[in-house]
Amino acid sequence: MTFVPPFLVFLAGVPLVLALPGRARRAALVAVATAGTLSVFLLRPGESWTAPFMGYTLLLLRADSLSLFTGYIFGIITLLASLYAAAFARPWLHAYALLYAGTSLGAVFAGDFLTLLLFWEGMAITSTLLIWEHGGAAVGAGFRYLLFHVVGGALLAAGIAMQSLEAGTLLVGPATGPWASLFIALGAGVNVGFIPLHTWLPDAYPMPHIAASVFLSVYTTKAAVYLLARTSAGVEAIAVMGSVMAVYGVVFALAQNNMRRLLSYHIVSQVGYMVAGVGLGGIVGVNAGMAHVFNHILYKALLFMAVGAVVYRTGIEVMDRLGGMGRKMPVTAIAYWIAAFSIAGVPGFNGFVSKGMVVAAAQDSPVVRVLLEIASFGTMLSFLKLGYFVFLRPGTTESSDPPRPMQVAQLGTAGLCVAIGIYPALLFGILPAATTYQPYGFDRLLEATVVLGLAAVFFATVGVRVLAPHETHLRDADALYGAIARGVLRASKTIAVSFGAIYEGFLSGIRSLGQAPRRLQTGDLNWNTVAVLLGLAIILAWLLAEAIG
């Protein structure tokens, strides 16, 4: 073995980061992220790493085209996000971020389901710690986040157990039986944000430190898409769910005033494109879904970096109190607009390339394709809204660009978004499978131009007024959870009262048995006593019949 598994590099770097003081710790954070990223790029297809465990051999690492592709983008963004986080003197944030990155890479490269489950649970724990690190309101959101992921982990564990029984192996691969397929898909579905299992995401991601939000936007949902690509590719129901996620997330994003909450709902929406691609299946669908994983990680992390810089400099999280940031934060504004055009799928930016791949994969699924185009329209509106009200409209809030490490991280990520958009071969060369897709075909350019152009015209004429940011009381699926919980409580209370009445009646009947002979003589025999006597008679008759028969 001539390589070091990437997850070990990140995990081993945590004590170093915690031990060093001040600037040395921040330098160590970036150095560990660099070494971990290099360890991914040094892997070669076919390499593996095993370890004995209770009479079983764990396949702790299996490198192939799919795991390497996902590992590349996880490594790249970990390095850029670590550079961004190095601007802050928060040792535990740095430590939890490295642990989160390490466990996520462990899940991606896991060759067997037992190893995958161990790292999957590790992701849940380390990401929760990353949320809790900020304290305050983030603590409550973190508990709810953890609850969802514990449930998701239990569903995944059940699916893995069924898969082991049905397939006779624990190697990570396509789910073989209906029940294993269902539970594995649901376990991944919690992490990926299936509707209505998604509410943990917009609830938790706006709460932690701004640097933590950058890391959180990367790993959990994308590792789940990777798992679906491994186990559930080509399932039509998953493709439909992905298209529903795409539209659902956009609708709720448009109603938000909090900037990071808007971005969080767009994770639900954009992950929907990836899920749709994987669900459509085949080489084309999986390639498309995973290409969007790669591009989305870049532009979504960049969006959280840009919005985080605004929050860092102003202390303001909501759009209705901001304005004029374009003049006061020019580097951040440039980074924001590159990320906004990327997520909207504007030609020349990386999102255009992978969104086009997903739409092309859906050419035989008209419902999925139409929903994805509706989501594109809404995405353009969302980021015109955020960009206009935060960066373009006049405002009096004082601000300036963030520290140099944060600027470098933003510009580096923005450069990759533009590079892939202009030269898609950078992405196509590392895809899990070769592709013949031509992103800049006339039909695709025309389609994107019409959808995005209509969104821009709508915003300029109507949307700038209708979509003006303000506090709303729009409720998500939490309202459904609350209604179900209240219904269960009411039903439980009714059942308890009913059983209490029956029990009291039974006791009353028992007490009356001693007086039955006298009451039979007087005709004063209540119904409780009659019921108990009849019940005893039936039991005695049944026992007699059993004895005779």
Rounded mean pLDDT, 249-265 = 97
Is residue 201 domain-shared with residue 243, that is, in the same domain? no
Helix/strand number for the chain, H first, E second = 24, 2
State yes or no: pLDDT of 448 exceeds 90. yes
pLDDT (0 to 100) of residue 520: 46
Give percent above pLDDT 70 in the chain. Answer: 91
pLDDT tens-digit readout, 160-216? 999 999 888 899 999 998 999 999 999 999 999 999 999 999 999 999 999 999 999
State yes or no: pLDDT of 510 exceeds 80. no
Determine the Cα–Cα distance for residues 224 and 245; give it in Å rounded to an integer: 15
Is residue 25 domain-shared with residue 173, that is, in the same domain? yes
Structure tokens at 350: 């990386």
Domain boundary among 231, 249, 281: 231
How would DSSP label each residue in 329-384?
Answer: -HHHHHHHHHHHHHHHT-TTSHHHHHHHHHHHHTTT-HHHHHHHHHHHHHHHHHHH
Note whether 232 and 181 are within 8 A (CB): yes
Q: What is the pTM of this model?
A: 0.89
**Which residues, 6 or more positions from 497, have their beta carbon under 8 angstroms from its beta carbon?**
none
Q: How many CB atoms lie within 10 A of CB 539?
A: 10
Is residue 499 domain-shared with residue 537, that is, in the same domain? yes
Is residue 351 domain-shared with residue 462, that is, in the same domain? yes
pLDDT (0 to 100) of residue 478: 76
Q: Is residue 203 part of a domain?
A: yes
Note whether 16 and 32 are within 8 A (CB): yes
Please give the residue range of the domain that contains residue 282: 233-470
Is residue 456 domain-shared with residue 541, that is, in the same domain? no
CA nearest to 82, candidates 4, 9, 3, 191: 9
Q: How many domains does the chain have?
A: 3
Q: Is residue 393 part of a domain?
A: yes
Q: Is residue 502 part of a domain?
A: yes
pLDDT (0 to 100) of residue 106: 97
Domain boundary among 470, 494, 510: 470
Is residue 254 domain-shared with residue 114, that is, in the same domain? no
Determine the Cα–Cα distance for residues 131 and 137; give it in Å rounded to an integer: 10
pLDDT (0 to 100) of residue 494: 80
State yes or no: pLDDT of 52 exceeds 50. yes
pLDDT tens-digit readout, 271-317? 999 999 999 999 999 999 999 999 999 999 999 999 999 999 999 99
What phi and psi values does residue 144 have, to the nearest 5 degrees?
-65, -40
pLDDT (0 to 100) of residue 516: 47
Is residue 261 domain-shared with residue 380, that is, in the same domain? yes
Is residue 273 domain-shared with residue 393, that is, in the same domain? yes
The angle at the Cα of 453, spanning 451 to 459, to the nearest 5 degrees, equals: 105
Q: Is residue 475 part of a domain?
A: no
Q: Where are the alpha helices (DSSP H) in 401-474?
A: 404-422, 425-428, 442-458, 464-466
Is residue 250 domain-shared with residue 136, that is, in the same domain? no
Is residue 192 domain-shared with residue 252, that is, in the same domain? no
CA nearest to 350, candidates 304, 399, 294: 294
Is residue 224 domain-shared with residue 316, that is, in the same domain? no
- With b for 16 or more beta-carbon neighbours within 10 A and e for fewer, the 364-387 pattern comes to ebeebbebbbbbbbbbbbbbbbbb
Is residue 237 domain-shared with residue 121, that is, in the same domain? no
**Which residues, 6 or more positions from 140, have their beta carbon under 8 angstroms from its beta carbon?**
none
pLDDT (0 to 100) of residue 515: 56
Domain boundary among 231, 251, 271: 231
Q: Is residue 120 part of a domain?
A: yes
